[in-house]
Structure 1
């Protein structure tokens, strides 16, 4: 219990440090906000891949639906900001329940193909329903309302760094909730399902229900990221729901490292910041990014988190050796 408590707050402190560090190293508030938004999406994906063992190519469905839900709510309903975010999460959870209910009945390649098929289906639905989604153009002129609670305006969101503050608060709260989930009995049970599904089922766990719960949580978090992204850019584009977005989210998750929530933050930061830097060097920067991702995949199979932990162990090892030598010397004395 004490170890779990320390783990929760150690990783939470790292998330808070990231939020405080980004404004110091980046001059663009929009870019810093984008890092946190995609970190949320990557954490939702990591809950499926790293903790449940489900490789989903449908995360773009939930990001896109979150964008559309927020856009339509702000354009037509004029509801408060918190209600917009909650609505997006509900829409994402419902969509994830639908996708997950069918997908979890298959395993391995067939599961992956089902999520990919759902991603294509939702993309063509969004493309076809132009009166609802705007088609190719997406939903335009999405407002960015201030944070208002009980009639009190708590936080403006008009400026880039003002909006970053809002997203940072949301990011820290969601990170803390997800960390509590993965450190709970539910999280440990999901790990059991990931490691040996047949044994977990034999132990009496309802594996399908557990997978569906993970899917719904993941969908809600990813849709929340989509809603925040729509308010950041002022549009809910068709590209948010296409297959390429699902691929990008999955790449961020793998680059950071699976099975650790903060690893998703590292992966999202690396993907967004390196992509932004490479785009200033060459118009065909995606080729450079692809080559870099291949190198990362070949040389860092445990992701950025694994590399960081390995370096930390190297730093600590000499000190441990000295301590062991001191203890042996004392024993001889």
Structure 2
């Protein structure tokens, strides 16, 4: 499905930058889903890792002239490192106290970025970030200066990350996270180190979110202070909830709906956030499992309808 998505977007969207932004936020939403949908942790700290990834990319390009892959690796590393630190403290609490801790860390990192203008650019952020081309032995492998060329590069990364996270979610590690989400006390009773698994999920989520932040900084050419605001965490959480937690591709759907709806509504009315709020209210009231849940119920209904009465009669005969 990930491959079909990246192939379909150039056919339905006129803007390469919009298509690229969609995939970047899909990465961030998948990372959030690993915490919310698989581990049961509602984190308001995703904006920390996203913003630090943006800053890391900007600093590496502006001051060290780092190559593209090293720049993105740095964004992932700083995201994972920050997630390890935040997660080490946050996972010691549950419920509302966990949420409050992640929100407090989000505010702390925001004011830290604001207070260090020599490093982060302060209120102005980091400007004039040049997008380096991927090179091999000093030769340019692929020119990503144009929007659709950069989309192709981001699409390749998106597919790789999606496949890796899908395998991770289906592995023993992923099934253990689901067990912790469903019954943490029972998972601990059978011998699983619950805190270690939660921390590992935090680190993976932070690395992928940092990657998304780094890719976005290279897309826009800036690493603004707003990239580390708690509003970014809210946006990523909303994408995850709209799509539906517990399924990775649902996060992609949620990101696509949010990004495309925001782009469309902003062209209709300057106060488009009000319209988006009404959409979110509708999702909360009538789609508690997100858009993925609605699509799943429709698919099941179609399968039952496709069986026909004859299939149901044969089933009853077999049972008799």
Report if TM-score (shorter chain) is over 0.5.
Answer: yes
Map of 1:252 onto structure 2 = 239
Map of 2:31 onto structure 1 = 44
RMSD: 1.3
Map of 2:199 onto structure 1 = 212
Map of 2:164 onto structure 1 = 177
Map of 1:63 onto structure 2 = 50
Alpha-carbon distance in structure 2 between the residues aligned to 1:210 and 1:325? 44
Alpha-carbon distance in structure 2 between the residues aligned to 1:328 and 1:211? 44
Q: Deviations over 1:240-276 (max 9, x none)?
A: 1001110000000000000000000000000000000
Does residue 35 (structure 1) correspond to residue 19 (structure 2)? The answer is no
Map of 2:123 onto structure 1 = 136
Alpha-carbon distance in structure 1 between the residues aligned to 2:112 and 2:239? 26
Report the secondary structure of 2:177's partner residue: helix
Report the secondary structure of 1:220's partner residue: helix
Displacement, 1:310? 1.1
Displacement, 1:325? 4.4
Report the secondary structure of 1:155's partner residue: coil
Displacement, 1:33? 0.3
Map of 1:163 onto structure 2 = 150
Alpha-carbon distance in structure 2 between the residues aligned to 1:68 and 1:134? 10
Matches within 5 A, 1:82-97: 82-97=69-84
Map of 1:202 onto structure 2 = 189
Map of 1:243 onto structure 2 = 230
Does residue 230 (structure 1) correspond to residue 217 (structure 2)? The answer is yes
- Quick one: structure 1 residues 312 and 78, their matched pair in 2 at CA, closer, same or farther if it must change by over 3 Å? same
Normalised to the residue count of structure 1, the TM-score between the two structures is 0.93
Q: Which runs of 5+ in 1 are unaligned?
A: 1-13
Residue 284 of structure 1, aligned match among 258, 271, 289: 271
313-322 vs 283-292, which deviates more? 313-322
Map of 1:262 onto structure 2 = 249
Alpha-carbon distance in structure 1 between the residues aligned to 2:283 and 2:178? 25
Alpha-carbon distance in structure 1 between the residues aligned to 2:86 and 2:186? 25
Matches within 5 A, 1:64-143: 64-143=51-130
Q: Which runs of 5+ in 2 are unaligned?
A: none
Report the secondary structure of 2:54's partner residue: helix
Q: Deviations over 1:159-194 (max 9, x none)?
A: 000000000000000000100100000000011111
Displacement, 1:327? 2.5
Alpha-carbon distance in structure 2 between the residues aligned to 1:221 and 1:288? 30
Map of 1:16 onto structure 2 = 3
Normalised to the residue count of structure 2, the TM-score between the two structures is 0.97
Alpha-carbon distance in structure 2 between the residues aligned to 1:327 and 1:154? 60
Map of 1:25 onto structure 2 = 12
Alpha-carbon distance in structure 2 between the residues aligned to 1:20 and 1:120? 38
Q: Deviations over 1:173-230 (max 9, x none)?
A: 0000100100000000011111100001011110000000000000000000000000
